[in-house]
């Protein structure tokens, strides 16, 4: 029988279940304003109908593109007009869908834009082959004869690089028709991991029963409560383990799509095809992996130091991110407070940059908080001609969120300046440059926080953050790059990538990068199944090259002042008006050498030395 006296004499805390909020519960100022793209869905439908009705307009140029300079210009301008509308349509449907991935209407709009995009690719598939069939001297004679064509000179020169990888018109049309099909693995993966997966509930460090989610998992990894970290780690990876066959099928489908396109276009490998797009030498990728593999010692030192300071018999993957130092420094950071911190850290960039950043903060370019079925993680939407870029966040009040804000606003400013200063033909920037501006902001933010630190403990905390940046943005991303490259190679050589093979491959590479101090739980072997970047076709290596380049650029800004700031802003404005390697070289960084990577590994050792001296 229940003893009523116990209830009267002792407080029994009520266990609460904390649900992820709905979108309606979030204040409007923390949600992006899609009216800057279209005032409503009906306006979107009008542009969609316009594109749908005008696709046939491509036919009037077929077989006649290079008959005259006027024809060439008219074709390029028409293609731009359709492209500008397509980008705007896609941006609106993507952001609306990502706000709530259960919303069938926006899922449908997103599907429709992908279909019409495929139709446009098919209808315009004759353009590149027809231009490439034209004698080169005649092509440039046309360009030079009409002033309005000269702006396209770099893009047409770039097109000529693809001559041997461009097929006949009928074959190009067939490849264009496959684009919607080959997007199925990623689209299905995205829906599966963001909307359909049901995560278990676990007890948090306060005894509250919480539903695990993507954001809560990342937050849990920073908790000082090791039992909670372990529970969250196992709960989060359980659905990936339980559905490993499905994730393996999607992963294989994505890799095979990459390989299919590479073979169809006569590349030697999927990696060569991915790098060729931005004119990146294979040596850049190989130098990166080689330089990091030869300099694992800083990472091994860091793992051993973590194990020692955490007083652990064994270091596990769920111990990789928790701070080693005073928990009091793990304070909460509101979004409003964090905006000011980021602005203060970037004062060195001058009034123009700060004004642009404030415009983004004050005009709802950012979707801040996690809500039910909102896409996980964080991103900046990139350049959409004629529309400012948007940023998605899932704010949890951690210091890591402050860095994510600085990171994504780096992307945002890169896209904003590019859009303001480049014509449509160059109003984007290559993936190779994408992570430079983001990690540049993080570098200046960290320097600012270290400079204003008020105690030894706070400095240690921030130096640790610097090490985590290097370990996650360089070592971890190179680890991913090595896994991705090996997985593609195995399929290209005819090997089967079963779930068992993928798990072993990931576990082996994880062990190599963390070294003997790390004991790998079985759950970590399934991490390959949850990483969305493995669907981005050789994207991840550019986090590491971008970090190394940004370190070099930030050092120049800090040492050279206004002159270096001007060069950096020129870098942001350059878009794709030149090849990315050249754009970086103009800004003062040579990525054809291992030097920027080696400088980062050396800096990691120096920071570890500084931490060991302080403790």
DSSP state letters, 270-337: HHHHHHHTTT--HHHHHHHHHHHHTT-HHHHHHHHHHHHHTT-SSB-GGGSSS-SS-GGG-----HHH
Cβ atoms of residues 93 and 103 within 8 Å:
no
- Cα separation, 87 vs 592, in Å, equals 33
Helices (H), 162-243: 169-182, 184-191, 214-220, 226-242
Residue of 408, 442, 464, 482 with catalytic role: 408
- List the structure tokens of 277: 């797009």
Tokens of 150: 């000269």
- Domain span including residue 50: 23-182
Domain assignment present for 380: no
Residue 209 covered by a domain: no
Annotated catalytic residue 408 = yes
The answer to whether residue 248 is domain-embedded is no
Contact (Cβ atoms closer than 8 angstroms) between residue 51 and residue 116: yes
In the chain, the percentage of residues whose pLDDT exceeds 90 is 83
Closest CA to 432 of 589, 603, 258, 255: 589
Q: Is the pLDDT of residue 5 over 60?
A: no
Chain mean position to CA 90: 18
For residue 98, the domain's CATH number is 1.20.140.70
In-domain check, residue 535: no
Tokens describing residue 274: 């991915």
The reported pLDDT for the residue numbered 168 is: 84
Evaluate whether residue 306 is within a structural domain: no
Asked whether the predicted pLDDT for residue 526 surpasses 80, the reply is yes
The reply to whether 548 falls in a domain is no
Q: Please indicate, yes or no, if residue 102 is contained in any of the structural domains.
A: yes
- The answer on pLDDT for 8 being more than 90 is no
The pLDDT of residue 293 is 96
pLDDT at 172: 85
Q: How confident is the model over 195-240, as pLDDT tens digits?
A: 899 999 999 999 999 999 998 998 899 899 999 999 999 999 999 9
Element (H, E) at 518: none
Q: Is the pLDDT of residue 76 over 90?
A: yes
pLDDT tens string 476-500: 999 999 999 999 999 999 999 999 9
Distance CA 608, CA 399 (A): 21
Q: Is the model's pLDDT at 66 over the cut of 90?
A: yes
| pLDDT tens column, 374-400 | 998 899 999 999 999 999 999 999 888
pLDDT at 376: 87
Q: Please tell me whether residue 48 adopts helix, strand or coil conformation.
A: helix
Give the span between the Cα atoms of 397 and 332, in whole angstroms.
Answer: 5
Write the DSSP assignment of 520-582 as a string of letters.
--GGGGGGGGG-GGGGSSS-THHHHHHHHHHHHHHHHHHHHTHHHHHHHHHHHH-TTSS-HHH
The answer to whether position 342 is within a domain reads no
Tally of domains in the chain: 1
Please answer whether residues 108 and 151 qualify as being in contact, where contact means their C-beta atoms are separated by less than 8 angstroms: no
Structure tokens at 563: 């002159």
């Amino acid at each position: 029988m229940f003893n009523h006296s116990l209830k009267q004499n002792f407080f029994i805390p009520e266990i609460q279940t904390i649900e992820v909020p709905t979108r309606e519960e979030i204040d409007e100022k923390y949600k992006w304003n899609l009216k800057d793209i279209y005032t409503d869905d009906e306006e979107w439908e009008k542009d969609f109908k316009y594109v749908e009705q005008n696709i046939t307009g491509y036919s009037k140029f077929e077989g006649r593109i290079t008959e005259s300079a006027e024809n060439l210009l008219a074709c390029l301008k028409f293609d731009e007009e359709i492209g500008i509308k397509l980008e705007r349509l896609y941006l609106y449907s993507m952001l609306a869908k990502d706000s709530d991935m259960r919303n069938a209407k926006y899922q449908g709009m997103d599907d429709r834009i992908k279909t019409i995009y495929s139709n446009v690719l098919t209808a315009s598939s004759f353009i590149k082959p027809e231009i490439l069939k034209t004698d080169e001297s005649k092509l440039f004679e046309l360009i030079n004869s009409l002033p309005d064509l000269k702006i396209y000179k770099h893009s047409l020169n770039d097109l000529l690089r693809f001559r041997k990888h461009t097929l006949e018109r009928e074959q190009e049309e067939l490849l264009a028709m496959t684009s919607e099909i080959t997007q199925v693995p990623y689209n299905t993966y995205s829906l599966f991991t963001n909307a359909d997966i049901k995560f278990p509930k676990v007890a948090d460090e306060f005894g509250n029963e919480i539903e695990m989610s993507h954001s809560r998992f990342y937050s849990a990894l920073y908790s000082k409560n090791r039992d909670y970290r372990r529970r969250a780690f196992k709960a989060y990876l359980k659905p990936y383990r339980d559905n490993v066959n499905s994730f393996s099928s999607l992963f294989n489908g994505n890799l095979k799509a990459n390989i299919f396109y590479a073979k169809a276009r006569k590349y030697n490998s999927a990696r060569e095809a991915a790098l060729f797009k931005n004119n990146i030498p294979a040596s850049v990728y190989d130098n990166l992996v080689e330089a990091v593999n030869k300099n694992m010692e800083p990472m091994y030192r860091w793992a051993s130091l973590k194990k020692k300071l955490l007083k652990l018999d064994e270091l596990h993957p769920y111990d990789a991110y928790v701070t080693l130092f005073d928990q009091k420094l793990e304070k909460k950071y509101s979004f409003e407070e964090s905006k000011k911190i980021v602005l203060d850290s970037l004062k060195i960039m001058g009034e123009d940059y700060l004004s642009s950043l404030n415009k983004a903060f004050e005009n709802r370019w950012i979707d801040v908080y996690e809500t039910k079925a909102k896409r996980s993680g964080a991103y900046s939407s990139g350049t959409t001609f004629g529309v400012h870029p948007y940023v998605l966040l899932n704010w949890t009040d951690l210091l890591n969120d402050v860095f994510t804000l600085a990171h994504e606003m780096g992307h945002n400013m890169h896209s904003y300046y590019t859009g303001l200063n480049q014509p449509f033909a160059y109003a984007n920037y290559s993936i190779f440059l994408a992570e430079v501006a983001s990690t540049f902001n993080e570098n200046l933010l960290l320097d600012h926080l270290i400079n204003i630190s008020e105690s030894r403990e706070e400095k240690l905390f921030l130096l640790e953050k610097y090490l985590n940046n290097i370990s996650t943005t360089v070592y971890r991303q190179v680890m991913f790059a090595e896994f991705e490259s090996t997985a593609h190679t195995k399929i290209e050589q005819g090997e089967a990538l079963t779930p068992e093979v993928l798990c072993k491959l990931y576990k082996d590479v994880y062990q190599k990068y963390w070294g003997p101090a790390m004991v790998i739980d079985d759950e970590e072997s399934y991490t390959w199944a949850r990483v969305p970047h493995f669907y981005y076709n050789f994207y991840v290596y550019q986090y590491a090259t971008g970090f190394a380049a940004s370190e070099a650029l930030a050092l120049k800004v800090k040492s050279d002042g206004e002159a270096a700031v001007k060069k950096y802003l020129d870098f942001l404005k350059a878009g794709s008006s030149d090849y990315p390697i050249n754009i970086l070289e103009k800004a003062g960084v040579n990525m054809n050498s291992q030097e920027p990577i080696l400088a980062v590994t050396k800096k990691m050792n120096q920071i570890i030395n500084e931490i060991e001296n302080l403790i």
